[in-house]
Structures are given as C-alpha cells and as structure tokens.
C-alpha cells in the first residue's frame, strides 16, 4: 500500500494518489540445477483515483495514469557449479539497468543473463536484455517493449525534424534505430572494499561505461571511514549519432562523483558528504536514469529541458550532506531515521534561475519479519516552478 501527496506550485496541480497492489510469485524446487519462476504484479486505485489525470502521481500506475497488472517475471534458471544461466522476464540490479523499486510495480526486463562466481569475491555478468517494462520506460509501463523504444532521453521534438523542448514529446529512438536490445557486461569485486566495472551497449543508440570504487578504513574498533569514487561516460552510437549530428546535437557526456562517509557504531550514526557533476554543453542530449539506473551519489529529481535547451543536466553540479541514525540505540530496534540536504546547481546559460535546494527526511521501520513501513518527505525550493514542491510518500509492505 502506498500514498503519495505532491504539493506543487501553480500552474501545476497538486497530486494525491493512493495505490495498493503487489506481487505474487511462484518458484519451483531444484531439479538437476533447473528452477522455474513466475511473478504476477498488480496495482489498483480502489476507485479513489482522481478523474483528472494531472492530479494523479506520474509513476503509481501506467503512463495513462490507469492501474494495471503484468506478468512481470517468467523465467528458467540453470545452475552448474559457479555458473548460472537465467532466461526470461526477470529483475536486474546494476548501476545503469536496474529494477529500481520506487513505486508498487518496479522496472522488469526480458533478458538472457549469465553469472559466474568462480573467482573468490568476484562476480562476472554477461547479459543480452531485449525488452523492458516499468516506471522508467518511455512508451509503456505495463508492456514489455524493446530497450531502444524504452530509452528515456531529454530530447523532445514536435516532429522528426524539429526540436521542441516546451511543447514536443520525448523522442522514441526506436523510430530511428529500430528495436534494439542492450548487451550488458560487468565485473564486481567485493570483500572489505568494492570495485565494479560495467559496459552497456545498445546498437544504434548509446554506449555507456560505468565504474566505481569504495575503500573502507577503520579509524578505531567502532569508527570507520569509507571513501568512494564513481564515473560513467555516455556516447551516442550509429543511427542515433547520425540523427543527432544532423540536428547539430550530441549525446556524449560524463558524470563524475566522490563520497566520504563516517560510521560510528557506538552512536548508531553515519554521516556522509557527496559531490557529483556532469559534463556536456548546451547541445548535449542526456539519458539520466536511463533503463532504471540511478547510481549517482546525489539523488536529484527528473530535470526538464526548456526553451532552447535539450537537457537540464549538462554542466550541472550537485552536493549533499546526509545523516543516518540507527534508532536501536534509543530502544527502537530496526527503526532508522535519515536526513539529507542537497544543492543542485544548474548551468545558468543552459537552465537559468532553476537551481534547487532539497531537504529529504526518511523514516524506516521493520515492525516484524513480514511488515515494513516507510515514510519520506521531500521539500524542494527553486525559482523554477517545476522544481518547487513538497512531496510526501508513505508505504506499507507486507510479505507473506
């Protein structure tokens, strides 16, 4: 069960949305290393949804703001020693392609995935992902469509020759590239420290390389510091590259970031400082959150291109300070409070007077092995009305 209230500045209307639903999954036992799994996902509004779609949250239901259901997982798994093959509809959790459980029904994928854990503390992954459904899809949440068709970029056009960031629709790249899948390869090493490297290649669309590293250092028996760095680079490819260049545009940019965390187990306190920045220029089309992945250390809302710009992210910077408190120290085991403050500095030449200050408050409680509660309140302030709003999200999850 989830409730979202979004208090927005005019001319945007406030949104109040209740959703219920969930997931029912069936998994077989092991037969000579083979397992089968199916999972059915559903959302419902209990008849309480507003008749005005503009008053309904954009991600609770389908793109038309109507509840839906979907056979989200249907897979066969074969495991032999350190190797695993998984075919069919499945969840995927990687930096750029991710299930991302943000509302009731998450992103889901049709894929052929091979995983190997033969090397100690190391996981190798190779996958061909054909289709995607879910809240980060462009054309449909409830239907599985090709990865190229579900590619969500910042480029809006009124027709195939005219860039229109104010009144156009986000470009469906499959009209240029055809229906394409993503070849995903990755290596993750994790023991005390962690290193991972990924490549995501979508033919005639985009080629993305992602890497990060986390180094943990003990300052005392109960106090530790963790230093992290990350980066990814996106490059347009093939037919999409030719299409953009004919318009005088590009989709070549990078993101870099660093994060420092301090954890004190005696106090149940973790504090962190994080910083990210994007490269690019006024002609750069971005694909932030593409295919469900949001690996950036500083989380930001979706940013809309406006007027002559094709992206709000190019040349932007963002910083965040975050405090996490384990309430077990005051007698509330499995209860956590998180408070964060972020500054999102957009380039004035690309997105004038649109910087955002964001306060984020989160409360999580594991009431029992079956029942989890979460409340989140975000306060966003900006001179741009699109990003000046308060959002309350309440959720209850029961697992049986």
Take residue 129 and report the two structure tokens written for it. Answer: 């992902």
Chain position carrying tokens 């069960």: 1
Report how far apart, in Å, the C-alpha atoms of 91 and of each of 83, 88, 262, 350, 396 are.
18, 10, 32, 36, 21
Helices (H), 178-316: 238-246
Segment 31-44 mean pLDDT: 97
Q: Which residue has the tokens 């999580």?
A: 364
| Average pLDDT value over all residues in the chain | 96
Four-CA torsion 301, 106, 14, 306, nearest 10 degrees:
40
**CA torsion angle 199 203 204 209 (round to 10):** 0
Percent of the chain as helix, strand, coil, to the nearest 5: 5, 55, 40
Q: What is the largest CA-CA distance in the chain?
A: 63
Residue 247: pLDDT band (50, 70, 90) is very high
Q: How confident is the model at residue 140 (pLDDT cuts 50, 70, 90)?
A: very high
- Contact assessment for residue 60 and residue 20, using Cβ atoms and an 8 Å cutoff: no
Q: Where are the beta strands (DSSP E) in 221-296?
A: 223-236, 253-264, 269-278
Band of residue 288 on the pLDDT scale cut at 50, 70, 90? confident
DSSP annotation of 228: E
Residue closest to 278 by CA, chosen among 308, 233, 214: 233
State the Cα–Cα distance between residues 236 and 253, nearest whole angstrom: 9
Residue 393, pLDDT score: 97
Kindly state the average pLDDT of the residues 38-56.
95
For 290, the token pair is: 């593409």
pLDDT band for position 10 (cuts 50, 70, 90): confident
User: What does the domain layout of the chain look like in residue ranges?
Assistant: 2-398
How many residues appear in the chain?
400
Average pLDDT over residues 219-232: 97
pLDDT exceeding 70 applies to what percent of the chain?
100
CB-facing half-sphere around the CA of 322: CA atoms within 13 A: 22
pLDDT exceeds cutoff 90 at 289: no
For the chain, what is the radius of gyration of the CA atoms?
22
User: Mean pLDDT over residues 65-91, rounded?
Assistant: 97
Q: Which two tokens stand for residue 15?
A: 């949104």
Q: Which long-range contacts (CB under 8 A, 24 or more apart) does 250-253 make?
A: 250/281, 250/283, 250/284, 250/285, 251/153, 251/206, 251/284, 251/285, 251/286, 251/287, 252/280, 252/284, 253/278, 253/279, 253/280, 253/284, 253/286, 253/313, 253/314
Tell me the C-alpha distance between 206 and 200, whole Å: 8
**CATH 3.65.10.10, applies to 2-398:** no
The pLDDT of residue 134 is 94
> What mean pLDDT is predicted for residues 160-167?
92
Q: How many helices (H) and strands (E) does the chain have?
A: 2, 22
Distance between CA atoms of residues 116 and 102, nearest Å: 29
pLDDT digit string (tens) for 15-27? Answer: 999 999 999 999 9
Q: What pLDDT shows up at residue 358? A: 97
The b/e string for 113-136 (b: 16+ C-beta within 10 A; e otherwise) is bebeeeeeeebbbebebbbbbbbb
Residue 149's pLDDT is 97
With bands split at pLDDT 50, 70 and 90, how would you rate the model's confidence at 251?
Answer: very high
pLDDT of residue 308: 87
The answer to whether residue 271 scores a pLDDT higher than 90 is yes
Query: How much is the pTM?
Result: 0.94
pLDDT of residue 101: 83
Residue 253 has pLDDT above 90, yes or no: yes
CB atoms inside a 10 Å sphere around CB 275: 16
Q: Which two tokens stand for residue 136?
A: 């980060």
């Amino acid at each position: 069960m989830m409730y979202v209230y979004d208090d927005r500045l005019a001319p945007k209307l406030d949104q109040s949305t209740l959703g219920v639903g969930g997931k029912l999954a069936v998994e077989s036992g092991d037969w000579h290393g083979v397992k089968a799994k199916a999972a059915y996902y559903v959302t419902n509004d209990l008849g309480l949804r507003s008749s005005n779609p503009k008053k309904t949250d954009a991600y609770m239901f389908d793109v038309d703001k109507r509840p839906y259901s979907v056979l989200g997982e249907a897979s066969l798994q074969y495991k032999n020693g350190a190797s695993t093959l998984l075919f069919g509809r499945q969840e995927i959790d990687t930096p750029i392609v991710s299930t991302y459980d943000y509302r009731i029904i998450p992103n889901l994928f049709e894929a052929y995935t091979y995983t190997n854990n033969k090397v100690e503390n190391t996981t190798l992954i190779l996958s061909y992902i054909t289709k995607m459904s879910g809240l980060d899809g462009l054309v449909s949440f409830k239907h599985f469509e090709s990865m190229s068709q579900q590619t969500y970029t910042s480029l809006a056009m009124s027709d195939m020759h005219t860039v229109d960031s104010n009144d156009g629709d986000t470009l469906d790249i499959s009209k240029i590239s055809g229906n394409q899948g993503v070849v995903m390869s990755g290596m993750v090493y994790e023991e005390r420290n962690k290193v991972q490297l990924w490549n995501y290649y979508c033919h005639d669309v985009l080629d993305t390389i992602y890497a990060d590293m986390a180094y943990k250092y003990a300052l005392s028996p109960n106090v530790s510091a963790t230093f992290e760095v990350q980066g990814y680079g996106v490059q347009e490819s093939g037919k999409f590259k030719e299409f953009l260049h004919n318009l005088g545009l590009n989709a070549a940019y990078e993101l870099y970031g660093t994060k420092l965390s301090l954890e004190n187990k005696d106090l149940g306190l973790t504090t962190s400082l994080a910083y990210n920045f994007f490269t690019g220029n006024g002609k750069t089309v971005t694909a932030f959150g593409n295919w469900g992945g949001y690996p950036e250390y500083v989380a930001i809302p979706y940013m809309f291109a406006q007027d002559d710009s094709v992206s709000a992210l190019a040349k932007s910077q963002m910083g965040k300070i975050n405090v996490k408190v384990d309430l077990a120290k005051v007698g509330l085991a499995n209860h956590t409070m998180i408070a964060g403050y972020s500054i999102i500095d957009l380039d004035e030449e690309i997105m004038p007077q649109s910087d955002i200050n964001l306060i984020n408050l989160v409360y999580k409680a594991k009431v029992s092995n079956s029942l989890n509660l979460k409340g989140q309140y975000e306060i966003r302030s900006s001179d741009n009305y699109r990003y000046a709003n308060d959002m309350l999200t309440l959720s209850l999850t029961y697992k049986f």
